[in-house]
Structure 1
Amino acid sequence: MDRSSYKLYHQHDHDSRRMLETYYSENPNMEFKEDTLTLPLEKMHKALAMGHIAGKLLIDISTGPLIHHLYTACEFFKDIILLRTNEKCILEILKWHKDRTGAFCWGHTTTHVTDLEGKSDQCEKKEMKLKSAIMHVMKFDPEADSLTDLIGVPQADCIITYGLLDMICKDQDDYKKKIGKILKLLKLGGHLILFGAINASYYTVGEHRFHMFTYDENFVKNALIAEGMTILQCEIIPRKSKSHLTDFDGTLFITACNEKVES
């Protein structure tokens, strides 16, 4: 298929529930369990359990209505703000957050996280803690000149971005520009946690194929270093799934610290 025909995540209709059911559900036949659920949650748990990434405010700038990676994070940050580009994704998150009928069930991820923490009997408590920590779910425009213009969003102690840059960036220059805008929301000394898909060009939701920006590990590391970030951890988790719904090679997991010296 001609790549020019791929849809863009933040510009075209995106079926948020279909995305969740395809890539993040508890269905035993869901092919991406290790890639999107088990292994990323384990990386988050290990990184945060070390104790040096913590604080008052976490800003999560991720793709779709994803919240599963925040079950660990709510133990290390008092307040969480979610920024999303897509209104349908926001509505899907709010269904879950407000316990509305038809909300997507994240119980399978809650169970995995509490097992990692040795608190397998506290799934309900974990769910309540994350919901209590989420202060705002806000829409933002990734093409805006500055994300710091968002009303009521202070600089964060930590930013998590899970997959979003892969989906909204057109090329290397666009990636560098957008990661720079995101990092302006991060305090000096604050931390970034980044998940990405290595060497991907597309992912599929329903009958639609969506664009993904193709890059490698070194490109992302160099883009972060150019923004004054110090790389603390960088790892590629090899892909486990065999599906043709997407073509990534592996998951990139990076933690970094903002040590930029202002000129």
Structure 2
Amino acid sequence: MATTPQLRAGEDYKKIFDGKVYADTLFNQIEVEGFTFTEFRLKTLHNIFSKGTIKGKFLLEIGSGPCIHTVIPAAKWFDEIIMTDYSPSNRDMQEKWLKKDAGAHNWDMYFKYYSKLDGNEDNWQQLEAALRPKIKRVLSCDVHLPNPLDPIKLEQVDVICTSACLESACPDKDSYHIAMKNVVSLLKPGGKLILIGILNCTHYTVGSERFQCVSLTRDDVISTVKMNDLKIIEIFDDDSSLDMDAAPFNGSVIILAEKTST
């Protein structure tokens, strides 16, 4: 009888997490019949950034994974985009894309999709050309540290974007709350947080390895945001669910919030 794989966490992200397998498994298509989460995420991010009101000097993405798709529509609104991740494999995949390495994941369909939303599908390569020079740093981060970028001390940033990071980094709701507090400390007063949360997910699979998540409800995410000096501006909901072992979840939420204090 087949045994259930061990649940991985913490240091396993440094030792065994495979960023290429993760990207190839979960980011190899956008439009899937009966599954709206990927399109929901891209359309919502496009909606948030296309207004031109979310902008500034620095955009910091916490827990980028091996991905670049969440910051594509942000490129023209920021002087610098900083990508981060705990896993060396994920940071390596970031660097490969920046250097146009042959081993990089192909994100062309994502640039084309955003360009289609812009009504400019034929010129999707302009988005790619705009993004690559804006990503000037790929840093290590650990959301469990008071300064997640330690030992680097970064000036507080204008915008933080984080997608499905905190729930996969945290074993329980208490640590999720603390991780949120640590991340928000990097945001300047009046700065914006864009949080993409996956709901009711206990684990996800990368290759043959299963990684743990803390299962969160919509109310859990919203209350944690509110308890960390953030005023919610807008909430976007999606009821997509996925039963596959790659990433079983039931629902997602995107929150745009503003930091109200120091």
Q: Return the TM-score normalized by structure 2.
A: 0.91
Other-structure match for 1:127: 128
Structure 1 residue 241: deviation in Å?
A: 4.3
Deviation of residue 244 (structure 1)?
A: 3.5
Q: Which residue of 1 aligns with 2:88?
A: 87
Partner secondary structure for residue 235 of structure 2: strand
TM-score computed with the length of structure 1 as normaliser: 0.90
- Residue 211 of structure 1 is matched in structure 2 by 212
Amino acid at match of 2:196: F
**Structure 1: gaps spanning 5 or more residues:** none
Aligned residue identity for 2:37: D
Please give the root-mean-square deviation of Cα atoms over the aligned residues, in Å.
Answer: 2.4
The whole-number CA distance in structure 2 between the counterparts of 1:10 and 1:121 is 43
> CA shift at 1:246, angstroms?
2.3
Determine if contact 2:62/2:162 at 8 Å carries over to the other structure: yes
Contact 2:143 2:166 in 1 (8 A): no
Per-residue deviation at 1:27?
A: 8.7
**In 2, distance between residues paired with 1:5 and 1:237?**
30
Specify the alignment match of 2:197 in structure 1: 196
Q: Which amino acid aligns with 1:153?
A: L
> What residue number does 1:56 align with?
57
Taking the aligned partners of 1:163 and 1:197, their CA distance within structure 2 comes to 6
Query: C-alpha distance in 2, partners of 1:5/1:148?
Result: 29
- The answer to whether the 8 A contact 1:23-1:31 is kept is no
Number of residue-to-residue matches in the alignment = 259
Give distance in 2, aligned partners of 1:108 and 1:174: 35
Question: Take 2:83 and 2:10, find their aligned partners in 1: how far apart are those partners?
Answer: 17
The whole-number CA distance in structure 2 between the counterparts of 1:97 and 1:32 is 33
Shift of 1:205: 1.1
| Letter aligned with residue 226 of structure 1 | M
Residue 19 of structure 1: which of 19, 22, 26 is its match? 22
Whole-angstrom distance in 2 between the partners of 1:195 and 1:69: 10
179-188 vs 120-129, greater mean Cα deviation:
120-129
Aligned match of 1:139: 140
Equivalent runs, 1:1-263 vs 2, <5 Å:
5-8=6-9, 11-12=12-13, 13-26=16-29, 34-36=36-38, 38-147=39-148, 149-151=150-152, 153-239=154-240, 241-260=242-261, 262=262
* Cα distance, 1:51–1:153 mapped onto 2, change above 3 Å: same
Alpha-carbon separation, structure 2, partners of 1:55 and 1:213: 32
Shift of residue 116, structure 1, vs aligned partner: 0.6
Task: Tell me, yes or no, if the aligned pair for 1:59 and 1:160 is still in contact at 8 Å.
Answer: yes
Amino acid at match of 1:191: K
Q: Tell me the alpha carbon deviations over residues 68-89 of structure 1, each in whole angstroms, 9 at most, x when there is no partner.
A: 1111011221210111101011
Runs of 4+ in 1 over 3 A off after TM superposition: 1-5, 30-34
Gaps spanning 5+ residues in structure 2: where?
none
